[in-house]
Amino acid sequence: MLRVGLTGGMACGKSTVATMFTELGVHVIDADAIAHELYRPGQEVYHELIKRFGQEIVKPDGEIDRARLAAVAFDGGRVDELNKIVHPGVIRRQQQWMEEISRNDPKGISMVEAALILEAGAGDRFDKIIVVSCMPEQKIARLAHRTGKNETDARTEVERRTKAQMSDEEKARRADFVIDNSGPVDATRRQVEAIYAELKDLAMQHSTGR
């Protein structure tokens, strides 16, 4: 089985690209969805987050207010502290999932969609890294459209997150494949299909030990 990491800057379209790969038959898991599970009441991560960041990050229904937590972490310069709490659990679940896929589909492709693969030093857990990129202004427009924020708030959010991440240029340098998602959807899909063809060949080579 071939293990692939899919990453990129905020609002570059990782989820759109992940969906395209899923439609082609790739097994895809979203690291953010794993984090959602870890944030639920009763989980060890849930209790550690409240211990470190306080009751202000808890909504009236007892759930973690992810937006509030992000604001506290990013504005307070505590992103590393947040990541050290959440990342180990996310990575463990990713590993378990990839092992399950390997047993069930040894000739297949497993893909983890995650924003901070390279920042977390997890790149070596994958056979190949794909980075999704787009123009800076597109990130702002897409985030505003997705969340309903006005342009000013969307710009502030993108800039805040970007400061805590590796630059798009550095991510591209470390990637095996780069998907430019700044154009039409069809152009992105053609790139995905071309990369998928290469990944399928590599997955077959891995399964035969070549």
- Report pLDDT digits (tens) over 57-102: 999 999 999 989 988 998 888 988 999 999 899 989 999 999 999 9
210 vs 113: which has the higher pLDDT: 113
Predicted local confidence at residue 74, as pLDDT: 85
Residue 116 has φ and ψ, to the nearest 5°, of -120, 35
Distances (CA, A) of 196 to 54, 109, 179, 184, 202: 44, 9, 12, 19, 10
Helix (H, G, I), strand (E, B) or coil at 41: coil
Predicted local confidence at residue 209, as pLDDT: 62
CATH number reported for the structural domain that contains residue 48 in this entry: 3.40.50.300
pTM confidence score? 0.89
Determine the structural domain holding residue 182 and report its residue range: 2-208
Predicted local confidence at residue 163, as pLDDT: 83
Predicted local confidence at residue 19, as pLDDT: 98
